[in-house]
Amino acid sequence: MRILLIFLAAAGGLATQEVTWGGEHVEIKVASRGAIVELDCAHGTIDERIAADAQGAFTLKGTFTPESHGPTRDDAPAAAKATYSGTIKGNRMTLHVTIEGEEGPGRDFTLTRDRPGTLYKCR
């Protein structure tokens, strides 16, 4: 699968590059119309083309699905709506994940372009 990142660069141009963004407990593989998000004991999707404004800020809709240890059950948690927001500055992305129906401040991550994530998956 070809992985693409499409965003409006701070200089004002449209950039398209093959890339994986990774950090502690998170990895994002970007495709032309969204992304696959892997987190410790969860996964999600970004269901929109990733586009940042001139300051590098973005807010995108997607899903978040918790995972659990052991075999998958028939009553496994369904995907919840999620918002992925943050900023891209150079090779650094700050990411904030808000899950619909979940109380609390959400989840924050720092990612680096062209770096795999360090994940601790539920197994």
Dump pLDDT digits (tens) for 25-55: 999 999 878 899 999 999 999 999 888 999 9
70-79, 80-89, 111-120, range with the lowest pLDDT:
70-79
On whether residue 87 sits in a domain, the answer given is: yes
**Domain limits at 104?**
5-113
Domain presence at residue 39 = yes
- Confidence at residue 71, expressed as pLDDT on a 0 to 100 scale: 63
Q: Which residues contact 41 (CB under 8 A, 6 or more apart)?
A: 66, 67, 68, 120, 121, 122
Rounded to 5°, the CA angle 102-94-59 comes to 60
Q: Which residue has the higher pLDDT, 18 or 61?
A: 61
Q: Is residue 102 part of a domain?
A: yes
Residue 32: the pLDDT is 79
**Residue 2 — very low, low, confident or very high, per pLDDT cuts 50/70/90?**
very low
Per-residue pLDDT reduced to its tens digit, 81-104: 999 999 999 999 999 999 998 888
Residues 6+ apart with CB under 8 A from 121: 38, 40, 41, 67
Tell me, yes or no, whether 95 lies in a domain.
yes
Amino acid at 56: G
Would you state the pLDDT for residue 68?
A: 77
* Structural domain count of the chain: 1
